[in-house]
Amino acid sequence: MTIDPTPAQTISTEHPTDLQVVGESYMLRLANADDAEQLLRLGEDPAVTRFFSWGPYTSIEQPQKYIEDLQAKRDNGALLEFVIVERETDQIVGVTGLTEFSKRDRRAVVGSWLGHKYWGTGVNVASKSLVLGLGFRQLGLERISSYSHVRNGRSKAALERIGFVGEGILHAWHWHHGEPQDVNIHCLLREIYERSEIGSDKIEITGTVPAAFLP
């Protein structure tokens, strides 16, 4: 397994925003105010947000508010979410990140969404390689799980393709649009990740990990 020899700094400034995870064709970086327009275009498609509690976006204020709230969520350890950027074009193609951290139990949950035109292009695997690499190689996680709505066959298949293993259904786990929603729960353990195709991908992690997510 190739592990980048220069790990990200572990000394945190008060509000670090320079954390990046860089792969061959895509990179993850933290969102900034200038990204709202691109996120609006990607998130205004109802197919993208069909299984989510939010969306589709209908105004620029919605992605602006999403971006504004991210810093507080990084500060309190609730969410470490990134925009996925295509390196060649500098275009944002989607969002991925980690939530539900338990430091004691070394686990977190990964969630992602991509602009519709990027589905089936390989971005999903490439961006999961980056966010899972961050979690397992840098943040000391032993288990990363993921939820997918029981009718979201595409998301379930995409997770299993990477090596996530189904653990069953969590009933009434999410509450969306005034209704309880059942979700599949899948997990990837470190040992399976390390043996998987993406477990040996070359990735470079630079910048400062927000203190709340340090192992």
Ligand X SMILES: CC(C)(COP(=O)(O)OP(=O)(O)OC[C@H]1O[C@@H](n2cnc3c(N)ncnc32)[C@H](O)[C@@H]1OP(=O)(O)O)[C@@H](O)C(=O)NCCC(=O)NCCS
Q: Which residues bind ligand X (CB under 6 A)?
A: 48, 51, 111-114, 119-120, 124-125, 147-148, 152-155, 157-158, 161
Shortest distance, position 182 Cβ to ligand X, whole Å: 13
Give the pair of three-digit tokens for residue 211: 């203190």
Shortest distance, position 17 Cβ to ligand X, whole Å: 25
User: What 3 state SS string does 140-170 have?
Assistant: CCCEEEEEEECCCHHHHHHHHHHCCEEEEEE
Shortest distance, position 142 Cβ to ligand X, whole Å: 21
Contact 42, 98 (CB under 8 A): no
Compute the distance between CA of residue 111 and CA of residue 44 in angstroms, rounded to an integer. Answer: 18
Cis status, amide bond into 56, omega within 30 of 0? yes
CB-nearer residue toward ligand X: 145 or 148:
148
- Which residues lie across from 95 on neighbouring strands? 83, 113
Shortest distance, position 155 Cβ to ligand X, whole Å: 4
CB-nearer residue toward ligand X: 48 or 209:
48
Shortest distance, position 145 Cβ to ligand X, whole Å: 11
Question: Which of 39, 203, 199 minimizes the C-alpha distance to 113?
Answer: 39
CB-nearer residue toward ligand X: 111 or 163:
111
CB-nearer residue toward ligand X: 125 or 211:
125
Compute the distance between CA of residue 30 and CA of residue 28 in angstroms, rounded to an integer. Answer: 7
CB-nearer residue toward ligand X: 31 or 209:
31
